[in-house]
C-alpha cells in the first residue's frame, strides 16, 4: 500500500483483516481446499483463495506462480493485469486486460501456471479474489529481479 493509504483502502484493510503482501497490496487467505494433490514441488491442497486489495495507483510487481491463478474482480476500481510470458524473465504486455464491470472490461482472468504477471489499480481502490490451483505456496512463487 502507498505511504499514505486512501481512507477507502485503510478501511477495507481493517474491515477484511488484510496484511501486507510481499509483491505489493494487501491480502488474506480465505479458503484452502480440504483435499490434497501431489505436485512436482510437493504436496499441496487442490486449491486456495485469497482476498487481494490494491490502493489507487498501487502495483503488484512482476511475479509468477507454479499454479493456475484465477482473478475475480469485485471493484470498485479497475485492475490492469499484465501477462509477461513464461520465459526466464517477464516481457512487457502490449495489451493488458482490464478487470472492471463495464462493457470495456472483464470480471475475471485466468493467469496460467508459470506466467509472469503484474497488476495495477488504475483509479480507486480495487478488491479481487484470487483462486490458485493447486494451492498457493511461497515455495511455488517467484518475484522478478529488481528493475524488471
Map out the domains of the chain as residue ranges: 7-143
| Cα–Cα distance measured from residue 131 to residue 100, given in angstroms and rounded to the nearest whole number | 18
Q: What is the CATH number of domain 7-143?
A: 2.60.120.10
- Please enumerate in sequence order all residues whose Cβ is within 8 A of that of 33, keeping only pairs 6 or more positions apart, or say none: 45, 46, 47, 48, 135
| Cα–Cα distance measured from residue 77 to residue 99, given in angstroms and rounded to the nearest whole number | 9
- 17, pLDDT greater than 80: yes
Average pLDDT over residues 85-99: 92
Overall pTM surpassing 0.85 (yes/no)? yes
The cell for 5 is 493509504
pLDDT tens track for 27-84 = 999 999 999 999 999 999 999 999 999 999 999 999 999 999 999 999 999 999 999 9
Amino acid at each position: 500500500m502507498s505511504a499514505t493509504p486512501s481512507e477507502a483502502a485503510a478501511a477495507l484493510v481493517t474491515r477484511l483483516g488484510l496484511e501486507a503482501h510481499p509483491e505489493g497490496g494487501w491480502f488474506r487467505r480465505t479458503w484452502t481446499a480440504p483435499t490434497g494433490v501431489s505436485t512436482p514441488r510437493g504436496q499441496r491442497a487442490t486449491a486456495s483463495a485469497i482476498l487481494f486489495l490494491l490502493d489507487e495507483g498501487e502495483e503488484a510487481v512482476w511475479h509468477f506462480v507454479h499454479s493456475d491463478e484465477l482473478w475475480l474482480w469485485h471493484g470498485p476500481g479497475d485492475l490492469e493485469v499484465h501477462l509477461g510470458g513464461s520465459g526466464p524473465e517477464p516481457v512487457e504486455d502490449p495489451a493488458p486486460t482490464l478487470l472492471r464491470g463495464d462493457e470495456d472490461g472483464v470480471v475475471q482472468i485466468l493467469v496460467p501456471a508459470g506466467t509472469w504477471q503484474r497488476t495495477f489499480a488504475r483509479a480507486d481502490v480495487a478488491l479481487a479474489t484470487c483462486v490458485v490451483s493447486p494451492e498457493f505456496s511461497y515455495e511455488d512463487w517467484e518475484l522478478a529481479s529488481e528493475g524488471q
